[in-house]
A and B are shown apart, each in its own frame.
Chain A
Amino acid sequence: MNTKNIMIVGVGGQGSLLASRILGAAAMNAGYDVKVSEVHGMSQRGGSVVTYVRYGESVASPVICEGEADVILSFEKLEAARWLPYLKIGGTIVTNVQQINPMPVIIGAASYPDEIVEKIKALCVDIIAEDAQAMAKEAGSEKAANVALIGLASHVLGFDRNVLRAAVEACVPAKAKEVNLRAFDKAQEKIG
């Protein structure tokens, strides 16, 4: 099998590390070689963060480059647009519709592009845009938005549903397990 490339993009502090660990665990449990590359440090203070998950028979590089991502999981709309060039032609973006203004927008030095999802769609890119926060809230906690996003993408991530669900179960803190599994199931049902 060719290496599958999944990018997780968002804003520092949104929980993308946990999402990448879930996907990493799923890949290993499904018997694949896997590499996950994270960013720590400066970029975490509310900056743009990106995490790479690559799995397959044998994975060499830990990073994903322009035009290589099969799936981009995005926690925030602007970040989906920022990393769009990394999507492979024919790949899928699954994005949360949340808007978090970066500091240059807040102080009026730049503006937040409007209708990002529509503009991406217009490029004939396969994009799923949902309110992951709302789904997570419905499941019991907004904090499970990252897991809801994984649920929304479950059909394009290349894993068996049970493998993915088991990885969620294994990676989230024990006390948040039920909420997260509910968020995962709800999101997955939505996508069918």
Chain B
Amino acid sequence: MKKIMLGNEAVARGLYEAGVHFISSYPGTPSTEITEFAAKYDEMYAEWAPNEKVAFEAAYGAAIGGGRAFCAMKHVGLNVAADPLFVSGYTGINGGFVIGVADDPGMHSSQNEQDSRHYAIAAKLPMVEPCDSRECKEFAAMAYEYSEKFDTPFILRLTTRVSHSSAPVELCERKNVPVRDYEKNIAKNVMMPANAKKRHVVVEEHLRQLTEFAYDCPFNKIEKNDTTLGIITAGNCYNYAKEVFGEGASYLKLGLVNPLSEKLIREFCRGLEQIIVIEELDSVIEDFVRKLGYDVVGKNVLPNIGEFSQDLLRKYLLGEEADSSMIADEIPPRPPVLCPGCPHRGTFYTLKKLGVTVYGDIGCYTLGAVAPLGAMDTTLCMGASISALHGFNKVRGEEGKSVAVIGDSTFMHSGMTGLVNIVYNGGFSTVLILDNSITGMTGHQENPLTGKTLKGDAAPYISLEDICAALGVAREHIRVVDPADMKLLETTIKEELESDVPSVIICRRPCALLKGVERKPALSVDTDKCRGCKSCMKIGCPAISMIETEKGKKAVVDPAMCVGCGLCESMCAFDAFVK
């Protein structure tokens, strides 16, 4: 049977067919749906972990225990999981272990554009890269076979376009793979210097075997055409190249992107007059081919920034520009914004009003940096808000004028250690935890604080207040406020900014898009009362605009968008908003 599947869905199908037992992941665009789709198969255990390091280690533990295991993350998630990654090749595995990592060339939804292939090289681990949904399924499933054969974790590298494109996939049955026996093996699994020294030798030996394997492995493919132009490529770049060069070039399509086979590349290049290496982001394959002595066209012509397309290849390699038309007007951009009724809006308006320095973090609330709110000073990576604010305040002494803001999922991911650091080292910064009861940005995933698991089962209640107290914040400085009550929020923030001990303000109100969150009737504007003062425009709700009427400029509410949260009402001095 054939089914149109998203690349990520096809990876999940590959896991299912390979008989995978255990999946632990942390969400991150564009990798999230792999785990969501995998969770729909009853035969596989699947969970959200609080962060990528935990997810990786949980999956590693399952593999050592003899199960086939998987974890998924976005490219920056691999930074978080890098510590266990680098050692996992030393111990090897027992049941097959595959790590799915999705890069985001073009930064559709990311804070940077790193190329995960460097990790495979640095950690000396094999990495495979599919080019479409069909290969997503096949590569994911095949990786288990070879992970077990070479006793090493495999990394499955995806990119946004592969993860989020759909194509027909042929479905097969699930293999019944029993959990393997587990035997204690200290020399292999306990990585202290004496053992690790011996295991490093094994890692190098595995790499040598894998390089031999790379010569004729089923992941790589040569397509010979009657031409002297050769293209070496991998992943979705292969599709772009085919689109542009068709049968006018021969192709070496690398599915195993680490390690590379010198023998295979030399064989492919024999007799070619021109070689082009086409790869998004860094020149990983190109550097290897150049080292073999070939003069290739690559990053001397093609960019190492952003996403490729057939158009980009035509432009840079053939000098061709597309024919197109456009109207003369300037087209205003349409950036993403906080949803109507978003609980974060009141918080950021209040912070802006107070004029404090805001150490931000990553989530929907990063949009608090966008006009008209503009209430954020920094965003670096998940968890950095709290820890970086501590450093800022230690050198500037601005505890009374600065806060950190961090989401509930992000706090559980990597915010707790930063808070401990403030308490431990005598800091007295103020931290706002924006608890909207969900992992919003990545499309609404459960997390340890939401009371539900990935599979939808009830989870034990974990109290954010108790966590903060256990980390050393005094109970009377752990405050809980509904951010829709902007007055109370403002006085609470002021009080805690004045205090000389660490404090946490939990801004608690569920995300407006959650099921079960009441959508109230839309408000409307009484045009007799509205004086066109634009006060309500300061909160940046996309449902409100100003229009020119016979009576002058007036606010209007789009009834299709408004969820009746009432925030605009509390901005208006003339009671112009009516229910």
Contacts and interface: CB of A to CB of B under 8 A. Distances in A.
A59 B166 CA distance: 12
B551 interface: no
A81 B324 CA distance: 12
A41 B442 contact: yes
B108 A87 contact: no
A8 B325 CA distance: 18
Contacts of A107: 371-372, 537, 540
A155 interface: no
A45 B332 contact: no
Interface residues of A, number: 59
B339 A45 contact: yes
Contacts of B132: 35, 62
B326 A84 contact: yes
A45 B32 CA distance: 17
Contacts of A36: 4, 165-167
B336 interface: yes
Contact of B324 (A37, A44, A84): A84
Interface string B295-333: 000000000000001111000000000111111111111
Contacts of A110: 330, 332-333
A7 interface: no
A106 B544 contact: yes
A61 B310 contact: yes
A45 B368 CA distance: 13
A91 to B, nearest CB: 10
A61 B367 CA distance: 32
A47 interface: yes
Contacts of A25: 4
B331 A104 contact: no
A78 B331 contact: yes
A36 B545 CA distance: 35
A34 B167 contact: yes
B309 A65 contact: yes
A42 B240 contact: no
Interface size class of B (residues with CB under 8 A): 35 or more
Contact of A89 (B6, B325, B330, B546): B325
A47 B336 contact: yes
Contacts of B168: 28, 33-34
Interface string A93-119: 000000001111111111111001001
B240 A61 contact: yes
A43 B164 contact: no
Contacts of B545: 101, 105-106
A39 to B, nearest CB: 6
Interface string B436-477: 000001110000000000000000000000000000000000
Given A60-B242, A106-B544, A65 B310 contact: yes
A110 B327 CA distance: 16
Interface string A80-91: 011011110100
A1 interface: no
Interface in A18-70: 21, 24-25, 28, 33-48, 59-63, 65-68
Interface string B532-561: 000001001010111000000000000010
B165 A38 contact: yes
Given A25-B4, A66-B311, A106-B542, A87 B537 contact: no
A151 interface: no
A81 B542 contact: no
Given A11-B334, A46-B336, A87 B325 contact: yes
Given A24-B4, A40-B443, A119 B329 contact: yes
Contacts of A134: none
Nearest to A106: B545
Interface string B317-360: 00000111111111111111111000000000000000000000
Contacts of A119: 327-329
Contact of A60 (B161, B239, B312, B330): B239
B331 A82 contact: yes
Contact of A67 (B6, B108, B236, B323): B323
Contact of A78 (B332, B443, B544): B332
Specify which of A34, A62, A101, A104 lies most central, judged by the most chain B CB atoms within 10 Å of its CB: A62
Contact of B336 (A42, A67, A84, A142): A42
B540 A103 contact: yes
B324 A66 contact: yes
Interface of B: 2, 4, 6, 29-30, 32-33, 108-109, 132, 161, 164-168, 236, 239-240, 242-243, 309-312, 322-339, 364, 367, 370-372, 441-443, 537, 540, 542, 544-546, 560
17 contacts: A11-B334, A33-B167, A36-B167, A38-B165, A40-B443, A41-B108, A45-B339, A47-B337, A61-B240, A61-B309, A102-B333, A102-B335, A105-B332, A106-B546, A110-B332, A113-B327, A120-B327
Interface of A: 11-12, 21, 24-25, 28, 33-48, 59-63, 65-68, 78-79, 81-82, 84-87, 89, 101-113, 116, 119-120, 123, 125, 142
Given A40-B33, A44-B443, 11 more contacts: A24-B4, A34-B167, A41-B441, A43-B336, A46-B339, A61-B243, A61-B310, A65-B310, A81-B327, A89-B323, A106-B542
